[in-house]
Amino acid sequence: MIKHIVFYKLSKSLDLETSQVQLKRMEEKFFPLGCKLPYIIEYRTGINLHVTPHSCNFVIDSIFRNKEDMYRYQEREEHYGAIRRGSAIEKTKVVVDYEF
């Protein structure tokens, strides 16, 4: 099994209201992927409840049977489309993939 976690941190220059709008947009773009692709075992998105200087704002937390299924997900047009639609949002990204 492969755990694929992606953390996003929005640009520091955004005010709280704009940040919340951006985070909702990200959720609207990525959440549906978990229902569209049958080889995803688990898929969650979430907006962080705590806003601190050292925390990320948004997470995608998913599980795949193997690396091949994870790569299939990453190469699908649905995934690329969500990335393209979210590209206007100023953010940094951290990815962790591990076997368990």
Q: Each residue of 63-92: pLDDT tens digit?
A: 999 999 999 999 999 998 888 888 888 899
Mean pLDDT (the chain) is 91
Which residue in 51, 49, 6, 56 sits closest to 29, CA to CA?
A: 6
Torsion, Cα 39 83 60 77, to 10 degrees, reads: 0
Q: Which CATH number fits domain 2-99: 1.10.10.10, 3.90.1150.10, 3.30.70.100, 3.50.30.40?
A: 3.30.70.100
| pLDDT-above-70 percentage for the chain | 100
Q: Is the pLDDT of residue 21 over 80?
A: yes
Contact criterion met (CB below 8 Å) for 99 and 5? no
> Tokens 């985070």 sit at which residue?
23
8 Å CB contact between 91 and 14: no
pTM of the model: 0.88
The sheet that has 91-99: what strands, in order across it?
40-47, 58-64, 2-10, 91-99
**13 has pLDDT over 80:** no
